[in-house]
Amino acid sequence: MSDSSVIAAITAAGRRSLQVGIGFGVLAVIGAVLNPVAFYQAYLIGYLFWLAIALGSLITLMIHHVTGGAWLCVIRRPMEAAIRTLPLLALLFIPIVLGMSSLYPWSVAEVVAEDAYLQFKSPYLNTPFFLVRAVIYFAVWCTLGHLLVKWSQEQDRTGDPMLNKPMRVLSGGGIVAYVLTTTFASFDWMMSVDPHWFSSIYGPIFMVSQGLGALCFLLIVLVLLARFEPLSKIVTQDRYHDLGKWLFALVMLWAYMMFSQFLIIWSGNLPEHIAWYLRRTDTDWKVLALILTIFHFLVPFIVLLSRLAKKRSGILVKLAIGLLVLRLFDLFWLLAPDLHDGVFVVHWLDLVVPIALGGLWLALYTKRLGEQSLVVLHDPRFPAKVLQGGADHE
């Protein structure tokens, strides 16, 4: 199939995504009018889910440039397309600002006035400083993404191999900037939903989750695009094997960090810490915890132990779809018990809002994906190590 075929497929996907986004967006607006609190709570979870894919693509791209791993070149264009959605995601942050009083107790003056602990944290947890930090986060992410994509496109256009150096240098410092900004963003946007609880490993959990969610999404995109030229000649079983190993590593790292946080808090047995887990394990939320343990860790772990499974696109894409859905479940488990005071509640907006946001995000994503070549044209690392010729994906 020709380049025109893949462009047509991407365009059609974008058009359908926009239609879905608009349709579910109308339902979300109706829900916002009927129940603003439920809307903002659902919006926070849905927003963080799609933001994680863009930020996970950003950190993966920077790791690619720093390490020089040629195997990531096959998903470089899908990564760059996701990164180019960050300006839209910055704009979509506005509803969270408007709904702060429904999400963050520390943003309500009456609540702070009656809570000495919140008063102690008020130099950091206050609305003006929260907004300033959010602007800094998006400025850093958008600047890093813009420069890396700009230089990549310039290398496509000019064939200048020296452009690898500024991309590598920027990525080295960019990884540090990403770690700092993403850690504090996780504190601000997620952990402060319960301002009385804290965990020093919360930021790393958030970052690993972003990388895992992004890789699952990129694997799905790659398998779909690998049916068309030129990727059909490039994406071999070895490339799937490389990505499968990366997926296995991230699944293991996510499980390790989640268990480490639980073990430290359980062994400390401090009232101000264990309440967070009691809301999730001694209530109906424990069912979701069990689902995540089995299907977000045990099943992928067992499947990805097989070398053969990591080489089969059919197995990888099914696993990626399942894990991507469970990423939303995981965000729901992390945030919803605090948003609902420990009561197990699932509102219809919890499904509608993420789909609405996803439709809009995917519409822009497909547009960006179709604007440039799906393969890296002049990266000196790419032809020798990756362009094998022949497609042996399943």
Tell me how far apart the alpha carbons of residues 394 and 392 are, in angstroms, rounded to a whole number. Answer: 6
Cβ distance 333 to 292 under 8 Å? yes
Tell me how far apart the alpha carbons of residues 175 and 59 are, in angstroms, rounded to a whole number. Answer: 7
Residue 392 in this model has a pLDDT that exceeds 60: no
Cβ distance 96 to 189 under 8 Å? yes
Structure confidence at residue 374 (pLDDT): 87
Tell me how far apart the alpha carbons of residues 112 and 89 are, in angstroms, rounded to a whole number. Answer: 30
Structure confidence at residue 337 (pLDDT): 95
pLDDT tens-digit map of 110-159: 999 999 999 999 999 999 999 999 999 999 999 999 999 999 999 888 88
Confidence of residue 383 (pLDDT cuts 50, 70, 90): low
When the pLDDT of each residue in the chain is averaged and rounded to a whole number, the result is: 92
Percent of the chain with pLDDT over 90: 79
Residue 390 in this model has a pLDDT that exceeds 50: no
pLDDT tens-digit map of 320-335: 999 999 999 999 999 9
> For the chain, how many helices (H) and strands (E)?
19, 0
Run of H or E residues at 234: none
Q: Which residues, 6 or more positions from 363, have their beta carbon under 8 angstroms from its beta carbon?
A: 14, 15, 17, 18, 21
Q: Which residues, 6 or more positions from 365, have their beta carbon under 8 angstroms from its beta carbon?
A: 14, 17, 81, 82, 85
Residue 11 in this model has a pLDDT that exceeds 70: yes
Tell me how far apart the alpha carbons of residues 295 and 292 are, in angstroms, rounded to a whole number. Answer: 5
Structure confidence at residue 278 (pLDDT): 92
Residue whose structure tokens are 């399943």: 394
As given in the structure block, the two tokens for residue 130 are 């929260």
Q: What is the mean pLDDT of residues 83-106?
A: 97
Q: Which residue has the higher pLDDT, 353 or 155?
A: 353
Rg of the chain's alpha carbons, rounded to an integer?
21
Structure confidence at residue 333 (pLDDT): 96
Q: What is the mean pLDDT of residues 254-264?
A: 95
pLDDT tens-digit map of 177-220: 999 999 999 999 999 999 999 998 999 999 999 999 999 999 99
Structure confidence at residue 161 (pLDDT): 84
Mean pLDDT lowest among 27-41, 50-64, 331-345: 331-345
Percent of the chain with pLDDT over 70: 96
Cβ distance 338 to 356 under 8 Å? no
Half-sphere exposure of 161 (CA within 13 A, CB side): 4
Residue 385 in this model has a pLDDT that exceeds 50: no
Tell me how far apart the alpha carbons of residues 118 and 121 are, in angstroms, rounded to a whole number. Answer: 5
Confidence of residue 376 (pLDDT cuts 50, 70, 90): confident
Cβ distance 148 to 63 under 8 Å? no
Structure confidence at residue 1 (pLDDT): 44
